Structure 1
């Protein structure tokens, strides 16, 4: 259900400014440039009005969990410098709908999903006569939580090699979802482990740029940035609490 509660534009502006300031502070603490980090505003369950307000305030990247909700927003609000990211679990039967509709699919969590995207791409390429490619990230369940999607760190090298053989997928890096904790320092090892895994894959597997690390959300994105995040997925700190229906 999309949240239709009244929108406080001034508060959203303040929130975005605060998030950007924290991104800059976190980056500078570890000698990074704030421009290295892409802020993806997680707009799931929020009406299109929220997206338009955030866009007008300078946000260009938006993250969605549900395919149908995302496609409806895309159809209603399509601009050349507005970029959509699929950050939720992807079922193989939705591959046809998501391929080419997102700047990046963050949640390729298995070879099965990757192969479904590849099959769609092959058909699109044959139909158009063009070599279509989809940027993706490989989702890794670093924490080992049963409730989290993603391949295990041990599985990642073998699966990555197989996915890299799929000609229509462009692997750009890794993604993870950290556990919910009271103290963000508790999940620093999760982010550090994803960075180390990325470095290992770059060395052992190669054949991809492996530049992107999508990690960190509202409660822990400053720590994620300190540990190397290049993409942070922030919803609540921008748009406020989700209204439960």
Structure 2
């Protein structure tokens, strides 16, 4: 049940059980795809859940944490600064938030335009940090702009944007990210993403990250070569209205 206070031991057991189930799904999907489990990194998307859950997950060995809102991510990262975590910013990012995000994020998954590349580069240099950046790819490019459910650069624009990231001070090109189109079979979309990722790797062999797959479609993402999964609900339960 969401919104109900739990004792730490009860919540830890709940998270441990959910993590075991997700890891079992990953293992089964990797076996079906002929891939090794260690090729896939699990990111816990802790949107609307408290820092105490991040600490419990870290104690269970899961130290890759994703957030999609700066106003929530920044204080949570500060509260967990003593933990050896990798913070992934996975949501749509406004340029005026680039400096704040550059202060705590290690990886930014949602780079979809040149202006954001420049803003993140300036922010990273100011902060004395290196940000790993992924190009967010739109997989519903055939849908009219006003009907699109996801952000992202259209596939034909991705190589140039990847080049910009690779050449920007303070940034490192990590690869690509995408979210499957709303209400559609994710397999064709993730197949298109795999082709875009391969094109990026031909120009930038080190950009091997393919961030794709969430609670409902991680199996299809793994089948299409995803290296990073962004899982929230399957790990933490239904979203809460307020962080506590």
**Superposition TM-score, scaled by structure 1 size:** 0.88
Call closer, same or farther: CA 1:73–1:243 in 2, change over 3 Å.
closer
- 5+ residue gaps, structure 2, are none
Is there any run of 5+ residues in structure 1 with no aligned partner, and where?
126-131
Partner of 1:28: 31
Match of 2:71 among 68, 72, 79: 68
- The separation in 2 between residues aligned to 1:124 and 1:62, in whole angstroms, is 21
Say if 1:100 and 1:134, in contact at 8 Å, map to a contact too: no
Q: Which residue number in structure 2 is paired with residue 39 of structure 1?
A: 42
In the alignment, the residues of structure 1 paired with residue 124 and residue 196 of structure 2 have an alpha-carbon distance, to the nearest angstrom, of 28
Task: Give the secondary structure class of the aligned counterpart of 1:154.
Answer: helix
Deviation of residue 198 (structure 1)?
1.0
The residue number in structure 2 matching 1:230 is 227
Q: Distance in 2 between matches of 1:190 and 1:19?
A: 22
**Equivalent position of 2:150 in the other structure:** 148
**2:15 alignment partner in structure 1:** 12
Q: When the two structures are aligned, how many residues end up with a matched partner?
A: 232
Note if 1:52 corresponds to 2:55.
yes
Shift of 1:123: 3.2
Change (3 A) 1:239 1:97: same
Deviations, residues 127-158 of structure 1 (Å, cap 9, x unaligned): xxxxx421111101112351211100011122
Local SS of the residue matching 2:188: helix
| 1:52-84 per-position Cα deviation (integer Å, ceiling 9, x unaligned) | 222222211111011121110111112352121
Report if aligned partners of 1:148, 1:177 keep a CA contact under 8 Å in 2.
yes
TM-score where L is the length of structure 2: 0.89
Conservation of the 8 A alpha-carbon contact between 2:99 and 2:123: yes
User: Residue 209 in 1 paired to residue 206 in 2?
Assistant: yes
